[in-house]
Amino acid sequence: LTRPETGMVCHPIRSEAMKGSIRLRYHSSTGKTIGREALAEIIDLMEAEAIFMSPEEEVHVRVAGHDGDVYYDLGQPDGTMVKITPAGWTQVREVPVRFYRPNGFGMQAIPERGGNLNDLRDLLHLDEKAWVLLLAFLLISLRSTHPYMVLLLSGGHGSGKSKISELVKRIIDPNALEKFRLPKDEHTLAIQAAMAWLLVYDNTSAVRWDLSDALCAMLTGGGFSTRKYYTD
């Protein structure tokens, strides 16, 4: 959906957001409300047109790449994005990629120039080795392609692991749900990965081998498939 005040935002055809948009446009044009049957017919037609008559494009969450550049969705209401190139970064409104904002997708602060990363180090009280690893993780998390990196925060009770993970999440991928519990199966992991760019797992004392393998496969570009259920 494209609006002057919000830019381009993509929604699944059968989502409530798309249905709401159709209802609103119908009412704006006719002054009447659209019936459920008519709405369902329009949705079916839109789906058929999308599958058989429209060009296929990849839809991204938070970070996308195009021609060597990286685009970052701030989640701002006006559709402002950040374009990152080897020469630096700029704020843009029109981008050559498509973004989707799942439920819980958080709004990032508008970036400003002139900051100092050492302020973050002072806030987190990290030694030199831990600071280098954290910087590497933050940079790799903004890549648009695999492979990615796992950041393991370890320490005793009260050492600040949860607070650091919350700050990292907010820096890269703010979300209404900042931390998950480690999933019990690959299916749940795949669903979580499709709905967020950065996954943070809290209070994780151990990881089963099968889930560890699934995490590694996901970070290096592996996939997951399952039969389709009634609701997914």
Q: What is the pLDDT along the chain (232 residues), one digit of tens a residue?
A: 555 455 677 889 999 989 999 999 999 999 999 999 999 999 999 999 999 998 888 999 999 999 999 999 999 988 899 999 999 999 998 899 999 999 899 999 999 999 898 899 998 888 999 999 999 999 999 999 999 999 998 887 877 788 899 999 999 999 998 888 899 888 889 888 888 999 999 888 888 898 999 999 999 988 777 666 655 5
pLDDT (0 to 100) of residue 179: 87
Task: Tell me the three state secondary structure of residue 127.
Answer: coil
pLDDT (0 to 100) of residue 40: 95
pLDDT (0 to 100) of residue 161: 84
pLDDT (0 to 100) of residue 5: 53
β-sheet with 69-73: strand ranges across = 63-66, 69-73, 81-85, 88-92
Instruction: Give how far the C-alpha of residue 217 lies from the chain's centroid of Cα atoms, to the nearest Å.
Output: 19
pLDDT (0 to 100) of residue 231: 58
pLDDT (0 to 100) of residue 196: 92
Count of other CB atoms within 10 angstroms of residue 143:
13
pLDDT (0 to 100) of residue 20: 93
Listed in sequence order, the DSSP H helices in 63-208 are: 118-124, 128-141, 161-172, 186-195
Q: What single-letter amino acid sits at 172? A: I
pLDDT (0 to 100) of residue 144: 93
C-alpha dist (Å) from residue 53 to 46, 109, 178, 196: 10, 38, 39, 29
Long-range contacts of 49-55 (CB under 8 A, 24+ apart): 50/13
Q: What single-letter amino acid sits at 227? A: R
